[in-house]
């Protein structure tokens, strides 16, 4: 697609089918002049207020990321335009970072990665003693302790417990957050020691240029020749998997067979549909799992309940309780083992 056509493309009025057939590299999007540039300006102001001269370069990428050993931050391309945010939410339920508070949390988080690489913090013995070895492998899943006070709580999902690098980054993000009195909020927590160490580190580098200034922008949106249709097809396949008869045993225990005799009973599929949003939000909130993964389970159950011609008998409250408990058990197994059951499901970091 030529540069002129790229710049005249109107994403707001473009039919969805045409948009899906557009390559990401051809999208007329940029950070400059959007709400993202305002968020980045706020981030830089927060960094400046701390006396730090380092400024991470930001660019549009396929997802939130800081390339390993680089000092730049990738921001998901879909955040650069409202039409793309809507498309992301249609396929993935959430558009990660779509609100200003959420975006700022993620920017502070990624800045922690970038500043660690810029000043080589992760190579220090003291850093490794406090947070652990930065060279540890990132797993597909991680086990966390919801009530542990040895870690700060910044992003959802107890992300500080994922990896030593994430522990440092989340601690840095809390330290950087304006109007957050971490000394009071984390008083008596084991995480205080980590916050104090980050505070000392940042005072040490105040006014000092970083020794590392490599900013290779990997996974840039401007280089992605895949269409939006294929991008989301792959993204959905990566984050979830279909199980044709996976829920049959549970569904048959929770519901009854629909017949002429009980045709007045509500259909199982309708009951699941009616309460899916509440179950999804609740399980996601307390497990930290992505809503898309949970939603796939609920959609599969709703579809399968219809195929099995099941109906809801008994108290709806009891049925919803069983549904929530069942979904929660699957998600917890998924987080601890990388499986709902059986074959391993691929997950992104």
pLDDT at position 157: 81
Q: CA 284 → CA 142, 156, 328, distances in Å?
A: 16, 9, 9
pLDDT at position 348: 30
Q: Find the helix or strand (DSSP H, E) in which 105 lies.
A: helix 100-119
How does pLDDT run across 283-336, given as a tens digit for each residue?
A: 998 888 878 889 888 998 999 999 999 999 888 899 999 999 999 998 888 777
pTM of the model: 0.75
185 compared with 348, residue with greater pLDDT: 185
- Rounded to the nearest angstrom, the gap between the alpha carbon of residue 153 and the centroid of all alpha carbons in its chain is 15
Place 54 in a pLDDT band, splitting at 50, 70 and 90.
Answer: very high
pLDDT at position 146: 79
How does pLDDT run across 260-280, given as a tens digit for each residue?
A: 888 889 999 999 999 999 999
Q: Provide the 10 A C-beta neighbour count for residue 221.
A: 21
Q: Find the helix or strand (DSSP H, E) in which 83 lies.
A: helix 82-92
């Amino acid at each position: 697609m030529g540069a002129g056509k790229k710049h005249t493309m109107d994403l707001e009025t473009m039919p969805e089918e045409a948009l899906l057939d557009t390559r990401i590299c051809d999208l007329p999007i940029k950070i400059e002049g959007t709400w993202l540039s305002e968020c980045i300006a706020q981030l830089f102001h927060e960094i400046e207020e701390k006396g730090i001269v380092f400024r991470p370069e930001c660019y549009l990428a396929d997802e939130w990321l800081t390339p390993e050993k680089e000092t730049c931050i990738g921001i998901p391309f879909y955040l650069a335009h409202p039409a793309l945010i809507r498309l992301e939410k249609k396929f993935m339920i959430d558009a990660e970072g779509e609100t200003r508070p959420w975006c700022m949390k993620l920017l502070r988080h990624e800045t922690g990665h970038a500043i660690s690489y810029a000043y080589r913090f992760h190579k220090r013995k003291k850093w490794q003693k406090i947070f652990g070895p930065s060279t540890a492998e990132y797993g597909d899943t991680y086990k966390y302790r919801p009530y542990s006070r040895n870690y700060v709580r910044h992003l959802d999902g107890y992300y500080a417990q994922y990896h030593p690098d994430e522990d440092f980054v989340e601690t840095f993000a809390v330290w950087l957050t304006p109007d957050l009195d971490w000394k009071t909020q984390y008083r008596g927590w084991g995480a205080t020691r980590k916050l104090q160490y980050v505070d000392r580190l940042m005072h040490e580098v105040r006014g000092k240029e970083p020794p590392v200034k490599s900013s290779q922008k990997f996974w840039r949106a401007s280089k992605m020749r895949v269409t939006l249709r294929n991008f989301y097809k792959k993204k959905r396949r990566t984050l979830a998997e279909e199980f044709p008869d996976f829920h049959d045993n549970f569904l048959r225990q929770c519901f009854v067979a629909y017949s002429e005799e009980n045709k007045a009973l509500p259909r199982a599929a309708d009951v699941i549909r009616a309460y899916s949003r509440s179950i999804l939000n609740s399980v996601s909130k307390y497990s930290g799992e992505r809503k898309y993964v949970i939603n796939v389970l609920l959609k599969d159950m709703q579809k399968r309940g219809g195929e099995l011609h099941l109906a809801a008998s008994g108290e709806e409250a009891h049925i919803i309780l069983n549904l929530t408990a069942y979904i929660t058990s699957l998600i917890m197994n998924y987080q601890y083992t990388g499986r709902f059951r059986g074959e391993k499901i691929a997950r992104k970091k």
